Structure 1
Amino acid sequence: MNIPRTYIDVHILQTVPPSNLNRDDAGSPKQAVYGGARRARVSSQAWKRATRLAFRQQAGMTAAQLGTRTKRVSGLLAGRIAERTGLDGEAATRLGNALLAHELNIKAGKKAEESAYLLFFGISQLDAIVDLVSDRAAELAALADDALAKAVSDLPVRQQLTSGHPIDVALFGRMVADIPSLNVDAATQVAHAISVHPAEIEFDYYTAVDDEKTMEEDAGAAMIGTVEFTSATLYRYATLGVHQLAANLGNDLDATIEAARAFLRAFVVSMPTGHQNTFAHHTLPNLVSFVVREDQPINLVSAYEKPVRSKDGILGQAALRLAAELQNGSNAWGFTPRTVTSVYDPVVATNAGYDSDETKNAALLAEAFGSPRRLDESIDLTVAAIRDRLQERDA
């Protein structure tokens, strides 16, 4: 079925206080040089995992709709075989390993209960594999190894892991180098978030005092240490290929729409958890814009190639630059969005700093981003736009 090419670009500006959302191997907040200036950075992997975890907090989202990424596929499959069929753990493990080994050739890892690599799959897909043997599990478990391997050789195990994908596998894809037939092309790309301004790493020196010591015994700290942090106004970007998402979900229009809706909300409200107990960095975005395109995705990070520099707030200038860059894509390059729906506070236009014409600033934001709306309304309008677009396949 021919699904028309459709993308949803998600542009976000978000201020984050002192924090260490995503650290490197030395414990420092990740950074990148862009436009000749060192910026704070949060990796795409960190925000994708935060998005996946945010799915679990959404109302109405069930475990059957979601995936898990683990090396313990053998143990999970054996557990579900035992639960369904009544086989003991050893017999269930042997049957599960036979199912995974023949057609999939999933290699064992260093630990007996683990595979050699992480696999990303849906629990419902494991249940579909159990369905293949549930009515004759005891018979199969009684066979010798060679006979068991032959008995399961004709079962469509691979088909169960290459269809009926949970929404997070359909969105983020799956790559298994040793088993290319299990690969799923990602429908979503997530950029590394970077600060729109230069950012420095600072150090917090902290101490811990022993509550049971008296001042007469020892007035010093029982422990001292440091933790690195930075603060930033971040530009976050992701793009969702709705046509690829539909293909991953078997061209099911309703499933595609609901998966897109779940992703938009989860990506917007998600937050990496690095050092969250230390910094409590639970902020909401300051500006969100959903841009539906029929041509190609466009990352607007070039708005900040020249870093924003201000001692009187960053967000206002960042919002106006983003608006100008979005319009430039249409005016100069001819990439005109199908729809643009945004969440922002119009007051940001009055805090832009470098241009005192508040009316002009407000008009620029409105022209680029449309009238400000609530998040739920913006998601509803975006989903309606892609539903209309996908239904064009039948026109």
Structure 2
Amino acid sequence: MTKQHSRTIIEVHILQTTAPGNLNRDDTGSPKSVIYGGAMRARVSSQAWKRPTREVFRELLDPSQLGVRTKRVVELLSKRILAIEPNMESVQAVNLAETVLTEGAGIKLAKPRKKKSGEDNQDEDALQESTYLLFMGNRQYDELARIAIDANAQEDAKAAIKKGKKHIKQIIADDRSIDVALFGRMVADATDLNVDASAQVAHAISVQEINPESDFFTAVDDAKQESDDESDSGAAMIGDIEFNAATFYRYANVDANRLNETLGDVSATAQAVGTFVKAFVSSMPQGKINTFAHGTLPELAVVNVRDSQAVNLVGAFERPVEPDYVQHATEALVRRERELETAYGIQPVKTWIVRVGEDTKAAEELAGEVSSLQEVVSSVESLVADRLSQE
């Protein structure tokens, strides 16, 4: 019989006001946007917030717990081989790396693509790359490096690697890297190496209607400006940058059950969930950040644990909120949560809130008390570990 609390889903709902900026650009350089509720909204894609979230992981976790997403798989693996066997010739290490990846793992490799000019890559000795970004754990690279070294000690290294193909694939398939487990891996050439993502991240949208603005700028030539015989003020370049400012609703969730299936360890799963919550809340896209210094922290973070299904509360903002944006967005978020609870009986198992300022006071209706982010992370980890241990 299925237990009532068989599912453990963690949701993160955030209201965050950013400074004027261009966090996430489209192909024309303009801030991304979307029409929602009949009104233009600022938008930041899920990919643009996943990347900085993963960057925060590096500050919170040991490299052995993380993966690397790259096409330069031959370079990485050959470096690991040479780190273990420094006396090996680099050419031999590269050949072994290519063989392990192609003959062992079944990953397609190719020379880097030609430049846009049509000229061949200037480096004729450029290492082969995977034909797509491959997301694989640091531990996997280390294990594959040892296999390559062991095979090199055999009379026919290539044959030894081919013979161990099943074992090599199993090493990659058993990837226990936290970021790979959370964000998933797709390998078109070898679908048996795919990892289903345990985390979902929504595109962030502004709670209010926005109108993009443009910043006209000039760049001054310092030497020209100091010359007395110049007739102008020294402007050497002019241009404009589009930007916007908004209060964003951000949302993500983690399926702790699926995450635990991938990681195979309750303690590691709880740590992964806590790390994701902390990293997602505190991360910030870096687009044009040197120009706008738009980095902020959320006014409000609501963390729910549900035992039914994940629920995005973006419908609270189908009608754009009016100033004061944070206050009215908080009230709309709370109202939406309560209405869904009444209509569908999906009250969270537990809710925590982290809030700043009086404008977010209405959120206390959801949790009763305010917590710090670190308190929330610790509590979420404990609750996840407890629930998973009872399954």
Q: TM (normalized to structure 2)?
A: 0.91
Code of the residue aligned with 1:93 in structure 2: it is V
Structural RMSD (CA): 1.6
Which residue of the partner structure matches residue 23 of structure 1? 25
Which residue of the partner structure matches residue 314 of structure 1? 325
The answer to whether residue 139 in structure 2 is matched with residue 124 in structure 1 is: yes
SS of the residue corresponding to residue 363 of structure 2 reads: helix
Judge conservation of contact 1:109–1:117 (CA < 8 Å) in 2.
no
Code of the residue aligned with 1:126 in structure 2: it is Y
Judge conservation of contact 1:121–1:165 (CA < 8 Å) in 2.
no
Q: CA deviation at 1:82?
A: 2.1
Q: Which one is further off, 95-104 or 189-198?
A: 95-104
Q: CA deviation at 1:10?
A: 0.3
Which residue of the partner structure matches residue 354 of structure 1? none
**Unaligned runs of at least 5 residues, structure 2:** 113-126
Change (3 A) 1:269 1:370: same
Code of the residue aligned with 1:172 in structure 2: it is F
Q: CA deviation at 1:367?
A: 2.0
Which whole-Å CA distance do the structure 2 matches of 1:215 and 1:275 have between them? 35
Alignment identity in percent? 45
Q: CA deviation at 1:256?
A: 0.6
After superposition, the C-alpha distances for 1:112-133 in whole angstroms (9 at most, x for unaligned) are: 4311111001111111112224
Which whole-Å CA distance do the structure 2 matches of 1:159 and 1:8 have between them? 30
The answer to whether residue 282 in structure 2 is matched with residue 269 in structure 1 is: yes
Which whole-Å CA distance do the structure 1 matches of 2:342 and 2:206 have between them? 26
Q: CA deviation at 1:136?
A: 4.9
**Unaligned runs of at least 5 residues, structure 1:** 350-361
SS of the residue corresponding to residue 24 of structure 1 reads: coil
Which residue of the partner structure matches residue 46 of structure 2? 44
Q: Which one is further off, 121-130 or 96-105?
A: 96-105
After superposition, the C-alpha distances for 1:25-47 in whole angstroms (9 at most, x for unaligned) are: 10000000110001000000010
- 1:95-114 alignment runs, 5 A limit: 95-111=96-112, 112-114=127-129
Which residue of the partner structure matches residue 339 of structure 1? 350
User: How many aligned positions are there?
Assistant: 368
Instruction: Decide which of 165, 168, 174 is 2:185's aligned counterpart.
Output: 174
Which residue of the partner structure matches residue 149 of structure 1? 158
Q: CA deviation at 1:104?
A: 2.2
Q: CA deviation at 1:346?
A: 5.6
Judge conservation of contact 1:261–1:379 (CA < 8 Å) in 2.
yes
Which whole-Å CA distance do the structure 1 matches of 2:160 and 2:202 have between them? 46
Judge conservation of contact 1:300–1:326 (CA < 8 Å) in 2.
yes
Judge conservation of contact 2:17–2:296 (CA < 8 Å) in 1.
yes
Which whole-Å CA distance do the structure 2 matches of 1:346 and 1:365 have between them? 11
Which whole-Å CA distance do the structure 2 matches of 1:224 and 1:162 have between them? 52
Which residue of the partner structure matches residue 367 of structure 1? 365
Q: CA deviation at 1:137?
A: 2.4
SS of the residue corresponding to residue 23 of structure 1 reads: coil
Which whole-Å CA distance do the structure 1 matches of 2:328 and 2:66 have between them? 39
Instruction: Decide which of 192, 199, 206 is 1:188's aligned counterpart.
Output: 199
- 1:319-330 alignment runs, 5 A limit: 319-330=330-341
Which whole-Å CA distance do the structure 1 matches of 2:49 and 2:141 have between them? 27
Code of the residue aligned with 1:209 in structure 2: it is V
Code of the residue aligned with 1:176 in structure 2: it is V
Judge conservation of contact 1:323–1:369 (CA < 8 Å) in 2.
no
Which residue of the partner structure matches residue 12 of structure 2? 10
Which whole-Å CA distance do the structure 2 matches of 1:370 and 1:119 have between them? 44
SS of the residue corresponding to residue 223 of structure 2 reads: coil
Which residue of the partner structure matches residue 352 of structure 1? none
Code of the residue aligned with 2:304 in structure 1: it is V
Which whole-Å CA distance do the structure 1 matches of 2:21 and 2:341 have between them? 36
After superposition, the C-alpha distances for 1:320-377 in whole angstroms (9 at most, x for unaligned) are: 110111112211111111000010136115xxxxxxxxxxxx5x53222331111111
Code of the residue aligned with 2:50 in structure 1: it is K
Judge conservation of contact 2:353–2:363 (CA < 8 Å) in 1.
no
Which whole-Å CA distance do the structure 1 matches of 2:170 and 2:68 have between them? 18
Judge conservation of contact 2:23–2:287 (CA < 8 Å) in 1.
yes
Which whole-Å CA distance do the structure 1 matches of 2:177 and 2:254 have between them? 16
Which whole-Å CA distance do the structure 2 matches of 1:109 and 1:101 have between them? 11
Which residue of the partner structure matches residue 359 of structure 2? 348
Which whole-Å CA distance do the structure 2 matches of 1:161 and 1:286 have between them? 40
Judge conservation of contact 1:340–1:370 (CA < 8 Å) in 2.
no
Code of the residue aligned with 2:344 in structure 1: it is W
The answer to whether residue 297 in structure 2 is matched with residue 284 in structure 1 is: yes
Q: CA deviation at 1:315?
A: 0.4
Which whole-Å CA distance do the structure 2 matches of 1:62 and 1:383 have between them? 18
Q: CA deviation at 1:67?
A: 0.9
Q: TM (normalized to structure 1)?
A: 0.90
Judge conservation of contact 1:324–1:368 (CA < 8 Å) in 2.
no
Code of the residue aligned with 1:79 in structure 2: it is K
Which residue of the partner structure matches residue 34 of structure 2? 32
SS of the residue corresponding to residue 153 of structure 1 reads: helix
SS of the residue corresponding to residue 28 of structure 1 reads: coil
Which residue of the partner structure matches residue 233 of structure 1? 247
Judge conservation of contact 2:8–2:387 (CA < 8 Å) in 1.
yes
